[in-house]
Chains A and B, each alone.
Chain A
Amino acid sequence: MTWPPFLLHALLAGTAIAAAAGLVGYFVVLRAQVFTGDALSHVAFTGALAALAVGIDERFGLFAATIGVGVALGGRGRADDVVIGTVFAWILGLGVFFLTLYTTNNSAGNGNAGVNVLFGSIFGLNLSEAVTAAIIASVIVAATLVIARPLLFASIDNAVAAARGIPVRMLGYGFLALVGAAAAEASQAVGALLLLGLLATPAGTAQRLTTRPYSALLISAALAVAEMWAGLALSYTMPALPPSFAILAVATGGYALALLSTRRRAQSVTASVVVSELSSKINH
């Protein structure tokens, strides 16, 4: 059986993107920054459409907007949710403006550009786009793995980590830049509106399955990749299902199974396991 090129491109980009989103997403959930991820999904929409409206590469706008806003939100410490909400509500209004600008100036162009940005078009990637996405995602994976250990420590207990000489502020900025990059990558796969699912769902499932942080990190990435493959396969065999829906449906199903099959564990158990594990490793 020969696979059609669009499926191979989707698999290549999707695998790398899912691994990056799974790794970064674990920390997003652990650090309780899901609302920030929610805000970035709106920012991604506006960034992509602004780039389209002025006629440059959509991905350039995506990365510039998500990384820029991610780092700006990080500058406020843990920003207040009313402030985040007010800012992203306006940024979204700006996105609507760019959408109108783009569709009225390009009547011959793609009238569904807004829909593609919001809900993704992973089956529409060409070879060079897929390769670029995969390379950037691999860089995000590598960077996350490099800072994983100090980041984990800082996420669980910021004060103790700072006392041990870990540069927690720098780490926070660096991490939000990674979240921004991962959000831009994820919106190429499942779209700006749904990227939160790719970040939060595998991570939430992994936290359900284990209390050990390194295992949870790897499980989150592995789950994201497996769910990406299953979703792509499902959408390929049943063309009525859009790929973004199929990927998120599989991921949500996985979370529901994990919820049903595990007893509720107290989060404090997770925290104490993490702290003891990290302290022992750092002491050695």
Chain B
Amino acid sequence: MILAEGPSWNPIIDLQQMWSFPFMVNAFRAGTIVAVLAGAMGAFMVLRRQSFAGHTLSLIGFPGAAGAVLVGVAASYGYFAFCLIGALVIAALPRAGPGGYSEESAVTGTVQSFALACGFLFVALYKGFLNGINALLFGNFLGITTEQVALLGVVAAISLTVLGMIGRPLAFASIDPDVARARNVPVRALSVAFLMLLGAATAEASQITGTLLVFALLVMPAATAQALTARPVRALALTIAIGLLVTWLGLSVAYYTPFPVGFFITSFAFAGYVGAQAVRHAPSRWRAGGTPATPTPPGTAP
């Protein structure tokens, strides 16, 4: 993307060369923060089966950013404002019972497309911004400033601290809400808190990956990890590791090719997911140690 010559295929020289550019250093710093945060949130999102909510939250960032640019403030504020408000709105909607799902999904679909339409209106009103629309939707890792990295780091630290504090009861409430409620775990408050954290994480990640591809970092590493192991703590660690790996690989490959980083990150993550599914469905004697067949982890059962 930046250099005419290709990689030397010596990892140390290539890394030194890539990191001699401050924007690549910032891209790696930001990518690392985003991968850790999105991985941690995504693990809980998949466990709680809130993919549709997570997807809607990630799309709501688009009108936020476009609106912020229209009124002349930094896009970061727009992302955070809209994603957090969106999280509150989704939390305020009653969780659907078995019969209410069709109506709730119609509402969510309506809200989602209307939010995107508003984003398009803001872009159309802000004439001349039309080229920036691709950056908002598909991400741009070249223009990240050191201040943005610092802001990302602060938000990620706060979000991860809160998630660390509520992680254990949240996992309990996600796996078995009825038993958790009976044990006086505040299930509803935890659900609202988690959606707010998810909103903050999507707002952050959107700025690197773009609104349309945030969802990939949330869902794909978590889905891969939970296909490989059923243990929550191990799955969480694996999710973050996969997220980091695909982000670093994606950034490095995108640096040497003319294609966008989002394509590489999603493709590496999808390849990992397909590989994990292949391992899971392979006969157990092919697996190392002949471990007994793992129980189907939540969130991956067909």
| Chain A 209-248 interface mask (CB, 8 Å, partner B; 1/0) | 0000000000000000000000000000000111011001
Q: Are B213 and A204 in contact (CB under 8 A)?
A: no
**A173 contacts chain B at the CB level, 8 A cutoff:** no
Q: How far is the CB of B230 from chain A (nearest CB, A)?
A: 14
Q: Is B290 an interface residue (CB 8 A)?
A: no
Which residue from A96, A111, A199, A267 sits with its C-beta under 8 Å from B100? A267
Query: Does A107 belong to the interface (CB within 8 Å)?
Result: no
Instruction: Report A185 CB to chain B, min CB distance, Å.
Output: 16
CB distance from B218 to the nearest CB of A (A): 8
- Size category of the B interface is 35 or more
Residues from chain B with Cβ under 8 Å of A249 in the complex:
114, 117
- In the bound assembly, the distance between CA atoms of A194 and B131 in angstroms comes to 20
Please tell me if the beta carbons of A35 and B105 are within 8 angstroms of each other in the complex: yes
With A37-B109, A112-B130 given, is the CB distance from A248 to B117 under 8 Å?
Answer: yes
B260 close to A (CB within 8 Å): yes
Report the minimum CB–CB distance from A250 to chain B (whole Å): 11
- In the bound complex, residues from chain A placing their C-beta under 8 Å from that of B300 are 80, 82-83
**Complex Cα distance A249/B110, Å?**
10
Is A30's CB under 8 angstroms from B113's CB? no
Bound complex: CA of A266 vs CA of B99, how far in Å?
Answer: 8
Q: Is there contact, CB below 8 Å, between A38 and B120?
A: no
Taken together as a complex, chains A and B put the C-alpha atoms of A94 and B103 apart, in Å, by 32
Q: List 22 A-B contacts (CB under 8 A).
A: A29-B103, A32-B101, A34-B108, A35-B105, A81-B51, A85-B55, A89-B270, A90-B216, A93-B262, A93-B266, A94-B263, A97-B260, A100-B263, A200-B105, A200-B106, A200-B109, A201-B106, A240-B125, A242-B121, A242-B124, A248-B114, A255-B107
Which B residues are within 8 Å of any A CB, using their own CB?
Answer: 46, 49, 51-52, 54-55, 99-103, 105-110, 112-114, 116-118, 120-121, 124-125, 130-131, 133-134, 137-138, 212-213, 215-216, 219-220, 223, 258-260, 262-267, 269-270, 273, 299-302
